[in-house]
Structure 1
């Protein structure tokens, strides 16, 4: 259930203190300074998705700072704020992020990364909207030195891997879907995996060109297919879901690969089967067992596609193994 806190019904004189408490509860204890005079308005909404906390803030101009004093006062709660990393998506207005000696201007549509375990500040010079995805450091699994190379930086949300992450987070954080705990856990794990990949991309040389990002994603898809060949449910749909992209985009990625995703899955499965069937008779398992092991649930279908690929039935291939040249 979402927790919503708004200044709408709070007396004007009490709003700064109320807002400071609201932001502290949503993100972490920090100092809040309202930028301009006049009535201040703000709204913060916090929801949970597995082990993630997703917070949407819409408010007037302000500066928020988490100082060494705030860190010194942190307590060992079950999940203390000092043990989290935040990925922010700026959906309206601009922000200036300071952390680890770096200053970054974050524009609408950009991403930012900051660590609640070290001092940082965010300056919003005008009314803004900001979505923060807070995740436990243990879940991210990124080395401290690598994380420090990414915090305090702005990441464009219009190209490269930043665009992939921003496009995934935007609808998810706009309306966190009600779902069963198991589903929420898988979604949260997907978000964390994407963020860890983003960190890896950044430390390997900033944002690479979009074409290289596509090539990198193709390599990841091919590796995913090889690791899940035994799963009968492996399909373009499951592959796309595992990489948080649409099936249409997946097919577009493979337009220059000379093979469709479905065909690639079938080819790789057949190669694994052919390899096993070439083993010596003493150790080779039954043909049906080989087919099932590599994702072919229907023996008749397996025999048809194997003959089409190798010119022999699986049994003929096994019997002629001593005369065959291994498939290249």
Structure 2
């Protein structure tokens, strides 16, 4: 979990007690001090005075240990980062003067508590997930976070996955609508995703380096499926008939990318709507029907070109597999999309692939 570009899960140092400067500000939670976590600040993180006691200062006693105990397992699977982390009860909050890392705006984090619970606060609201939940959030908007252990003397534990928002197979505004939501991690797609992420984080050394990109794609597909399912079914995120139809059309496209005859007309016929209405639906998403089909085909072809196991498969065969009838058309479309020819992309991807 990152806040303002700093890894909050790294080792942290306890802050010295500070007097309450503004008693009118209410602390995040109340109760006996022995039941509440100690205050901490991230080592090296520039917090105001050294932390913002105007926002949060409840006079908690400071334990004697100088450094927080943290256990961390993190692994990279292609574009996806998977982690399993545990640490003592902790509070963190952002100093107003600390800049936000622009790179975090492109990342979506999904967090599954395995032991304990947490409270995350944004300007727009807050969420309090526990064991059995899955939290979707964006670290650029987090103002404060509090992590609780299940019992005194134990540690908070969670599995996390960071995914590039641009690689989720949904329009950007639909991905944005998921941020701040809590979904079940004990049933349906949420349970499947939580199981995969936890398994990858527990035993990252069980997989060959070449497996990483493929497993990362599996995680991305599960995240996309989870979001699409939530948009269609969650009462907390009511989807209009237009949004639901868009998702059905996109799902159909994903299943039929290999069909060279896939086109706006065939999609319209399949979904019993006019071609002009189909174009209007996609126009509202800022894309065209043909552009969406082409982008998905190119993405699948790009995955195959980057796979060392498929290095012997001719490029024109990969193009045909994903619905490109003419190799020259595929090459031009690939260069426009990625700025490099399919041949050069494959050469560089295989050269830099883990061995």
TM-score (norm 1): 0.50
User: Normalized against structure 2, the TM-score is what?
Assistant: 0.46
Q: Which has the higher helix share?
A: 1
Higher gyration radius (CA) = 1
